[in-house]
Amino acid sequence: MSNGDMFQNNHDEIDFEFLGNIRGKDWRIQTNVYGNGSTSIGREERYGLWFDPAEDFHQYSILWTDSQIIFYVDNVPIREIKRTESMGGDFPSKPMTLYATIWDASDWATNGGKYRVNYKYAPYVAEFSDLVLHGCAVDPIEHEAKCDNAQTSKAVPTGVTPAQRIKMENFRKKHMTYSYCYDKVRYKVPPTECLINPQEAERLRKFDPVTFGGGRRRHGKRHYRSRGSQAEEAAAF
């Protein structure tokens, strides 16, 4: 979701980004959040998927309210972001539209360009099914909101249930490979909205002791570059 067409200098964005796969390894998916043009602060998390998203349809959902953002895969919550006062405008708050693209596999998503797209397999196709939207439609001219109060809206979740939280914690323990909150190369001090989980920190540190342990990289520096709205998301539903 994005509003970069209307707010070019201070856009909001909430993403599912499919990063493809490396032969013999799990498919990877990334979630990210920008608010008020805060592209200099990447709030990315990455995970492995327990299935091949190109073989069959799966359900990818985003719950976005004025106080929280929850990402779901097949109705399992995989990430929860609660709005804090310290986030300020970094929490997405302006009307957005939903869109999907197949993007150019930039260096940041391909291990520094190590795993390039093989265009001999083109054309690439993204297929979508059973799209469901609930919420408030905003008139782009009048800026008035008309909210969906249909009976089906009652099925929209209001948060993570205790049973779902167990599933989310299990998913993150097993599949999460990166979280900006623990990246000591990028952030000497975690962004203020981060809630540090010692067990999560230790698991990621063992996975990548340089990124999550703050140690020195022997073979040159690691460079990061936040992605702006022009580098669009890969979609492989």
C-alpha 41/C-alpha 226 separation (Å) is 7
Residue positions annotated with a catalytic role: 13, 17
Evaluate whether residue 183 is within a structural domain: yes
Domain count of the fold of the chain: 1
What is residue 52's three-state secondary structure? coil
Sequential pLDDT tens for the chain (237 residues): 999 988 988 999 999 998 876 777 788 899 999 999 888 888 999 999 989 898 899 999 999 998 999 999 999 999 999 999 988 889 999 999 998 888 777 776 676 777 777 788 888 888 899 998 888 888 877 778 888 665 555 667 788 999 999 999 999 999 999 999 999 999 999 998 898 999 999 999 998 999 999 765 544 434 444 444 333 333 333
Nearest one of 51, 50, 75 to 62, comparing CA atoms: 75
Evaluate whether residue 180 is within a structural domain: yes
Residue 27 belongs to domain with CATH number: 2.60.120.200
Evaluate whether residue 215 is within a structural domain: no
Is the Cα dihedral 82, 85, 90, 92 positive or negative?
positive
> Containing domain of residue 97, as a range?
13-207
**DSSP type of residue 51:** S
The number of residues making up the chain comes to 237
